[in-house]
Structure 1
Amino acid sequence: MNLAGMTDHTLLKPQAMEKDIVALCHEAQLHKFATVCVNPIYVQTAAKLLHGTGIGVVAVVGFPLGATFTEVKIQEVFMVKAHGGKEVDMVINIGWAKSGNWDAVEQDVARVVEAA
C-alpha cells in the first residue's frame, strides 16, 4: 500500500515563503504524494512546479477560522481554480458550528461546493 499516494503534503504556515513552496513541491515529487496543500497565494507557484507530474494542487479557503463571508470563500475558490488549483479544502465557520447554527454552516458549505 502506497500511503504517500493518498496523502496531502501540506504547508499552511503564514510565514511560508516561495522557497518553502519550492521545497514542498520537490518533497512531494520525491515521495510521490497525491497532492500539495498550500495557501491560495501559492497555488500558481505550486501548479507550475508540479505541472505534468500527476501531483495535484489543493488550497484552503476560509482559512484558518472560517469566519468570513461565504462570498469571500467563493471568490477564493474562483481564484484558486484560475491559478491552477484542482481542489479546495474549506474551513467551516467555527463560531456557527460551536453555537449549533448548522443551517448556516450547511448553506455556507453548499454555496462553496457549488462554486467549486
Structure 2
Amino acid sequence: MNTSDVLKIVDHTLLAQTATWAQIREILDDAMKYHTASACIPAAYVKQAAEYVQGRLPICTVIGFPNGYSTTETKVFEAKNAIENGANEIDMVINVGFLKDGRYEEVEEEIRKIHEACDGKILKVIIETCLLTEDEKIKMCELVTKAGAEFIKTSTGFSTAGATFADVKLMKEHVGEGVKVKAAGGISSFDDAEEFMRLGADRLGTSRLVKIMKQTDNGAGY
C-alpha cells in the first residue's frame, strides 16, 4: 500500500487548546497538499477555515469535546452552528457516564438528535474506548448503528489512551451494515495505519502521518 492510499482516509487533526490560526492554516495547507480526507480542527476556527479553503477540502470539527457530558441540547446547538459555519463533518463525544449508568435509550436518542442536526453531513460518534469495558464497546456499536450515524470512532486523543488494534477489530465485528470505523489517538506510523486499515478502519484521525511526509524527500516516501 502506498502512502497516498493511507493519507486519503486521514482526518489531518489539530485540536490542541493552544492552537492558533497560523497553526490551523498550516494544517489546512498540508491537508490540501497531501489530499487527506479532511482537516479536523476546533469549532471556533471552522468559519475562517471554510472561507480559507473555498471548498477544496472538507472541514471536520468536534462537539461535546473532549468529555462528552454537555447536555444534548448544547451538543445539538454546537452541531448546527458548526454546519452553518461551513463544517462538512462532525465528530461528537458520547456521555460516557450515561452509558455506564445503563441509560442506553438516552445515549441513542442523543446520537439520533445530533445526526438529525447534521442535516445530511457525516457524523462520527466518539465512544472513548479506553474508558469502556468490552461489553460497553459492543453496546455502543449497537446504539450507533440504531441511531443512524455514519461512523463510530475510538477516541478523542485526550483521555488515557487512543486507538488499539483490538478495539478496531472488535468494533468492525459488531457495527451494523453501513456504519464505518474511525481509529484515532496515538497513530504514529504508516505501518500502524496500514494495520488499522487491514483490521477495518475506514478513517484515521492523526497529524503524525502528514508530519512524516513533510520530513521525507519532497513527500516521496517514508
User: Do the aligned partners of 1:37 and 1:57 also contact (CA within 8 Å) in 2?
Assistant: yes
Overall identity of the aligned pairs, in %: 34
* Aligned match of 1:49: 52
Gaps of 5+ in 2: 119-222
Q: Helix, strand or coil: the match of 1:8? A: strand
Counterpart for residue 26 of structure 2? 23
* 1:37-88 superposed Cα distances (whole Å, 9 cap, x missing partner): 11110101221222132x2001111101110111111111111111111110
Question: Which stretches of structure 1, 4 residues or longer, exceed 4 Å deviation after superposition?
Answer: none
> What are structure 1's unaligned runs of at least 5 residues?
none
Backbone CA RMSD of aligned residues: 1.2
The answer to whether structure 1 residue 11 and structure 2 residue 29 are counterparts is no
Q: Aligned pair count?
A: 115
CA distance in 1, matches of 2:54, 2:62: 19
Residue of 75, 78, 91 corresponding to 2:77: 75
Range moving further from structure 2, 91-100 or 27-36: 91-100
Q: Distance in 1 between matches of 2:97 and 2:55?
A: 40
Deviates more, 1:100-109 or 1:15-24: 100-109
Among 28, 52, 62, the residue aligned to 1:60: 62
CA shift at 1:98, angstroms?
2.5
Task: Give the greater-gyration-radius structure (CA).
Answer: 2
Are positions 1:100 and 2:71 aligned together? no
Structure of greater relative contact order (alpha carbons < 8 Å, 6+ residues apart) = 1
Match of 1:13, SS?
A: coil
**SS in structure 2 of the partner of residue 22 of structure 1:** helix
**C-alpha distance in 2, partners of 1:19/1:66?**
28
Structure 2: distance between partners of 1:110 and 1:13: 28
